[in-house]
Copies of this chain bind each other. A is one copy, B any other.
Amino acid sequence: MANTALQCESCPVRDRAACSALQPDERGQLAEIGRHRTVRRGETVFAAGDDSAWCATLISGALKIASYDNEGTERIVSLVHPAGFVGELFAPMAQHDIVALADSRLCIFSRNQYSAAVERFPALARALLRRSGEELFESRALIDLMGRRSSIGRVAGLILALGRAASHSPCDVAQSFDLPLTRGEMAGLLGITIETVSRRLTELVQRGIIKKNGARGLEILDAPSLEGLVR
């Protein structure tokens, strides 16, 4: 774990993260209580059961929020993209593990100090409220995906969601991108097995709807068909 002081001026999410709602001097005050932290893929940022003394904004990379049942099966409840906020401001302890999907940079704060900033800066509370609403929306989109009966629909929906996350505007889907998830993580997200994910992906390839470039690279050849499988 590496800590360095904040440099908001050059921050890639400076006008999308919650802190972007603040006035320059307010953001300066927030910057004083925050630190940068870098984590490697696979590293746990916060662990379930921790006293949740920290919270953070993701600057770059990607995170997963997950829990593990007693057989060790991973169940992912959310993905976090840059400008996303993680950590509980109200609950006494973290409910889920938060793990880096890729090498990532975060801006971390002590929960108490951040809470105090939320009290002091109403604009920060409103910005977090907005983010929280977006997270809830994402969360419901995932529920919608998992509610599908067919595995092909789930996989197709996930590809579209990941494509949307890869493009910078949330409306359109990147045509070619790298999957940020292993097959196991895709399975954990969709509530199916690794083997089924693999089989449905090869089915989509055989039907000419997608193309694989190596294990992680993916190209969408026929977006309308993909949409058709989801609805």
Interface residues of A (CB under 8 A from B): 65, 67, 69-70, 75, 77-78, 88-91, 95-96, 118-119, 122, 125-126, 128-130, 132-137, 139-140, 142-144, 146-149, 188, 191, 231
> How close is A154's CB to chain B, nearest CB, in angstroms?
10
Question: Known: A69-B231, A140-B139. Is A191-B147 also a contact (CB below 8 A)?
Answer: yes
A147 in contact with B95 (CB, 8 Å):
no
B129 touches A125 (CB 8 A): yes
Interface pair B136/A136, CB less than 8 Å apart? yes
Beyond A75-B144, A90-B133, A143-B143: 19 further Cβ-contacts under 8 Å?
A67-B144, A69-B231, A88-B133, A90-B134, A95-B137, A96-B140, A119-B122, A119-B126, A125-B126, A125-B129, A132-B132, A132-B133, A132-B136, A136-B139, A139-B143, A143-B146, A146-B146, A146-B191, A148-B191
Q: How far is the CA of A77 from the CA of B231 in the complex (A)?
A: 16
Report the minimal beta-carbon distance from A144 to chain B, rounded to whole angstroms: 6
Complex formed: what's the CA distance from A19 to B137 in Å? 23
Cβ contact within 8 Å between A77 and B125:
no
Q: Does the CB pair B88–A147 fall under 8 Å?
A: no
Q: Give A231 Cβ to nearest chain B Cβ, in Å.
A: 6
C-alpha gap A224/B90 in the complex (Å): 29
Contacts A126-B118, A133-B91 known; A143 to B231 CB distance under 8 Å? no
Is B91 a contact partner of A137 (Cβ separation < 8 A)?
Answer: yes
User: Can you list 30 A-B pairs with a CB-CB distance of less than 8 A?
Assistant: A65-B140, A67-B144, A70-B231, A75-B143, A75-B144, A77-B140, A77-B143, A78-B143, A88-B133, A89-B130, A90-B130, A90-B134, A91-B133, A91-B137, A118-B126, A118-B129, A125-B125, A129-B129, A132-B132, A132-B133, A135-B136, A136-B139, A139-B139, A139-B140, A143-B143, A146-B146, A146-B147, A146-B191, A147-B191, A148-B191
Question: When the two chains form the complex, which single residue of B67, B122, B146, B147 contacts A125, counting CB atoms closer than 8 Å?
Answer: B122
Contact call B132/A78, Cβ cutoff below 8 A: no
CB contacts (< 8 Å) of A146 on chain B: these are 143, 146-147, 191
